[in-house]
Amino acid sequence: MFDIAAIIINYNSSKLTQECVESIIEKTPSLLNFQIIVVDNASEQEDYLSLKQFCENHNFKNLQLVRSKINTGFGAGNMAGFHFANAKYVAFVNNDTLFLNDCFSILKAAIEKDNSIAVVGGQSFTETGKLMVAFDHFASIAKELFGRDFLEKLNPKKYPKRKLEYTNPLKVNYVQGSFMLIRTTDFNQVGGFDTNIFLYYEETDLCKRLEKIGKSSYLIPDAKYVHYHGASTPQNVLIKTELKISLLYIIRKHYGFFSYYFLLNYLRINYIFSTIFKPKYWYLLKVLLAGAPLSKSLKVRQKIKE
């Protein structure tokens, strides 16, 4: 059994994936027994073949490439890679990240100090060295209505300020899904990622379920990495729509129908007015008027590739 299994998803961004793999291998000492599983989420043939050649020619023996014939999204893609993991801890690493130091050893040492800790994550930075937000507060009606700043002023202990730089480990609602390390037994106990979600809020949902069984999440600022935020995901109205579908799904899942229905109508009203000035949001509004069902997710639009 390995100490850590790192799972990386590639989708038409093999150059980023290769750089991510190289940074992990470079910064992780050989004394740490780890494996890297790369899941290609039905990329175009040219991108996949480039990644395949890289993996086949690399001298790191514990590097494995898994090819999916359909783009299953973030959660399901990681679950596909998890089938090949054999480790005490599993690290989900976005392919648009680069390790700045020995993140694995630092996070492993932190999580092993307390069995009640299920998830740990490092501090992220932009490519220019600017501090990035590395954790967040659970999705909720209050967060959507009043915003994060209000919650942080109202209850700073429960909602620590996201934009500060911390020097000591900090208990948080959840760490960013760009890089999180999880105890495998805890991950198994809650059933892993919810594969109904195609994109966004997967880590929120996971950490919320872990919290319900008494497991916590911590920011470990000594582990540092670069995150090219959004580099592997195009930003358009379809992606924004996906964001709202996932948000409403987890609100209903964790807070019930009335919370879902309240937020749905709140968003409907907002986007009725937004569409007047930004017609590009018309599609998003139509999905909200339909109730933002999972049947409108990008997940159902994916096609199987040869």
Q: What is the DSSP letter of 281?
A: G
232-265 burial, b at 16+ Cβ within 10 Å, e below that, comes to bbeeeeeeebbebbbbbbbbbbbbeeebbeebbe
Q: Among 35-44, 69-78, 227-236, 293-302, whose mean pLDDT is lowest?
A: 227-236
Q: Which amino acid is at 152?
A: E
Dump the DSSP string for 124-163: EE-TTS-B---EEPPP-HHHHHH-HHHHHHH-TTTS--TT
Query: So what's the pLDDT on residue 230?
Result: 62
193-205 pLDDT, tens digit per residue, is 999 999 999 999 9
Longest CA–CA span in the chain (Å) reads 59
Query: So what's the pLDDT on residue 171?
Result: 97
Query: So what's the pLDDT on residue 231?
Result: 55
- If pLDDT is split at 50, 70 and 90, which confidence band does 149 have? very high
CA distances from 136 to 116, 175, 209, 221 (A): 19, 6, 15, 14
What percentage of the chain reaches a pLDDT higher than 90? 95
Query: So what's the pLDDT on residue 16?
Result: 97
Distance from C-alpha of 67 to C-alpha of 165, rounded to nearest angstrom: 38
62-87 pLDDT, tens digit per residue, is 999 999 999 999 999 999 999 999 99
For residues 93-110, give the mean pLDDT: 98
For residue 108, pLDDT beyond 80: yes
Query: So what's the pLDDT on residue 97?
Result: 97
- If pLDDT is split at 50, 70 and 90, which confidence band does 32 have? very high
Query: So what's the pLDDT on residue 10?
Result: 97
Helices 237-255 and 202-212 cross at an angle (nearest 10°) of 10
Q: Please tell me the pTM assigned to this model.
A: 0.94
